[in-house]
Structure 1
Amino acid sequence: MFDETAAIPSGLHHERFVATPLTTDTAALDYASYMASPHVIRAHSDGRWPIDGFTLEDDLKLVAKHQADHENRRAFTFVLLAPSLREALGCLYVNPLREYLQRAGADRRILDAVPAASAMVTFWLRQDQQGTGLADVVVEAVNDWLLTEWPLATHLFRVLPDERSSCAALDRLNLRKTRLSLPGDTRPYVWYQPLV
């Protein structure tokens, strides 16, 4: 997604949340947030992510993979923490868009239109944060952060219709809503792109 000289931001500090790389040091906070959010996790993952019987040890294995991807600049996962840094509010993922589109069977016209330094952005917020306005804050702050501090040519947010708070927040921001026809992806994803 990026060349080796591109500077990647270490995090985002906002008065409502702090985005910091997800590591094994923050895994327990991430796990607590995840397990407190079964409906959110099911909606965000379309039922693909485990909940019943999912243990902290299971989470640590996934977090270690996210941490390795982040450190090796393959993909970037941030845990969203409360300002106190004692509680996780959700997670943010900044993944290579072109790689995703290739896996999903995008045609050459779409792939040629997407620069290498492009990101697919997804996120989820803890269940008790739904309807609190946090989604609006996160979407606006993250969009500005990606536009101003990341070495990206473009980014697209991706959500599923059942992620109601996230969809509503993205609808309220000045973004272009679109659907991509991807033969390898059967989920009804909705995509949002900045207008700049």
Structure 2
Amino acid sequence: MFDETAAIPSGLHHDQFVAAPLTTDTAALDYESYMASPHVIRAHSDGRWPVEGFTLADDLKLVTKHQADHENRRAFTFVLLAPSLREALGCLYVNPLREYLQRAGADRRLLDAVPSASALVTFWLRQDQQDTGLADVVVEAVNDWLLTEWPLTTHVFRVLPDERSSCRALDQLDLRKTRLSLPGDTRPYIWYQPSA
């Protein structure tokens, strides 16, 4: 997604949340947030992510992979923390868009139109933060951050219709909403990208 010289932001500090790289040091906070949000996790992952019987040890394995991907600049996972840094509010993922589109069977015309420095952005917020207005704050701040501080040509947000707070927050921004027909991924994703 990025060449070796591109500077990647270390995090995002906002008065209502902090986005910090997800590491084994924050895994326990991430796990607590994840387990407190079964309906959110099912909606966000379309039922693909485990909830029942999912342990901290299971989470640590995933976090270790996310941390390695982040450190090796393959993909970037951030834990969203409360300003106190004592509670996780959710997670943010900045992944290579072209790689996802290739896996999902996008046609050559679409792949050729997508610059290499393009990101697929997804996020979830813990269950007790739904309908609190936090999604609006996160979406606006993250979109601005990606536009101004990341070495990206473009980015897109991806959500599923059942992620209602996230959809409402994205609908309120000046973003173009679209659907993509991808033979390798038939989920009804909604895509949002900056208008300019």
What is the TM-score of this pair, normalised by structure 1? 1.00
Give the corresponding residue for 2:6.
6
SS in 1 for 2:166: helix
Give the corresponding residue for 2:157.
157
Over residues 85-115 of structure 1, what are the superposed CA-to-partner deviations in whole Å (9 max), with x where a residue is unaligned?
0000000000000000000000011001000
Identity %: 90
Shift of 1:36: 0.1
User: 2: CA distance between counterparts of 1:163 and 1:155?
Assistant: 19
Please give the residue correspondences for 1:139-158 in structure 2 after superposition, counting only pairs within 5 Å.
Answer: 139-158=139-158
Give the corresponding residue for 2:122.
122
Give the length in aligned residue pairs.
196
Shift of 1:159: 0.2
User: 2: CA distance between counterparts of 1:60 and 1:23?
Assistant: 9
Please give the residue correspondences for 1:31-180 in structure 2 after superposition, counting only pairs within 5 Å.
Answer: 31-180=31-180
Over residues 65-101 of structure 1, what are the superposed CA-to-partner deviations in whole Å (9 max), with x where a residue is unaligned?
0000000000000000000000000000000000000
CA RMSD in angstroms comes to 0.3
What code does the residue aligned with 2:155 have?
H
Shift of 1:186: 1.1
User: 1: CA distance between counterparts of 2:50 and 2:185?
Assistant: 20
What code does the residue aligned with 1:28 have?
A
Moved over 2 A (4+): none
User: 2: CA distance between counterparts of 1:134 and 1:175?
Assistant: 18
Over residues 23-78 of structure 1, what are the superposed CA-to-partner deviations in whole Å (9 max), with x where a residue is unaligned?
00000000000000000000000000000000000000000000000000000000
SS in 2 for 1:25: helix
SS in 2 for 1:161: coil
Does 2:186 correspond to 1:186? yes
User: 2: CA distance between counterparts of 1:80 and 1:183?
Assistant: 32
Give ranges in structure 1 of 5+ residues lacking alignment. none
User: 2: CA distance between counterparts of 1:102 and 1:46?
Assistant: 20
